[in-house]
Chains A and B, each alone.
Chain A
Amino acid sequence: EDQVTQSPEALRLQEGESSSLNCSYTVSGLRGLFWYRQDPGKGPEFLFTLYSAGEEKEKERLKATLTKKESFLHITAPKPEDSATYLCAVSQGGSEKLVFGKGMKLTVNP
């Protein structure tokens, strides 16, 4: 069965304190790994798609990387506005189902 595990479940950082979020996955025939940001009371906001091991994507203070078993979302010098829940999801070839992890709540204190 396809599985996605995110760790840690919650993370508190001081402004400017860089860190990484982990997403471990098991899926046969990965079609894509997706990162989303979700603010309270809002829908998930798309951040990145990674398709193959070794791929990296960057956007502002965020950088996503992918290996054959996990993905990392690196946050460099975070700001309070980066506080949100970050979701990881995988898609298997031939399936329309996205398998989501439970999410990781990030709080960045000023």
Chain B
Amino acid sequence: NAGVTQTPKFRILKIGQSMTLQCTQDMNHNYMYWYRQDPGMGLKLIYYSVGAGITDKGEVPNGYNVSRSTTEDFPLRLELAAPSQTSVYFCASRGQASYEQYFGPGTRLTVT
């Protein structure tokens, strides 16, 4: 049982490039989330999903897109990367029966 896994661990992008951050969970959780964590700031919710085929915006969705075609996977797409998207990105999931979220190891993204 690996929990929540994320790839890649590190990535450097040039301004204007695009990429997809991958997130997979093996706990059969319906709920999945994407957060970003900036130095000295609390984690901010980007997007979330309550089940396959259903997604919704969080606090800071601009510049990102998501899809949820399966229960296990919740990829985050960055289009036209900007320096402001330099951050550490965390994926999380939770089950139906409780509200605590379980986090992946993160992806550190630098846009230059």
Task: Give a binary string over A63-102; 1 marks a CB under 8 Å from any B CB, 0 the rest.
Answer: 0000000000000000000000001010100001111111
Point out the residues of chain A lying under 8 angstroms from B58, CB to CB: 96-97
Cα A34 to Cα B43 with chains together (Å): 13
- A-B Cβ contacts below 8 A, count: 58
- The reply on B104 being an interface residue by CB < 8 A is yes
Among A98, A101, A102, the one with the most B-chain Cβ atoms within 10 Å of its Cβ is: A98
Residues B45 and A98 in contact, CB atoms below 8 Å apart? yes
Residue interface mask A23-44, B partner, CB < 8 A = 1: 0000000011010100001111
What is the CB-to-nearest-CB distance from A26 to chain B, in angstroms, rounded to a whole number?
14
Residues of A within 8 A of B59 (CB): 97
Set of chain B residues within 8 Å of A4, measured between Cβ atoms: 42
Inter-subunit contact A43/B99 (CB<8 Å): no
A43-B105 contact given A32-B99, A49-B98, A96-B33, CB 8 Å threshold: yes
Cβ of A87 to closest chain B Cβ, rounded Å: 8
Is A32 within 8 A of B100, CB to CB?
yes
Check B42 against A43 for contact (C-beta < 8 Å): no
Check A98 against B98 for contact (C-beta < 8 Å): no
Per-position 1/0 for B65-102, Cβ under 8 A of A:
00000000000000000000000001010000011111
12 A/B residue pairs, CB under 8 Å, sorted by A: A34-B99, A41-B106, A43-B106, A44-B103, A45-B103, A46-B100, A49-B98, A89-B43, A91-B99, A96-B48, A97-B59, A98-B45
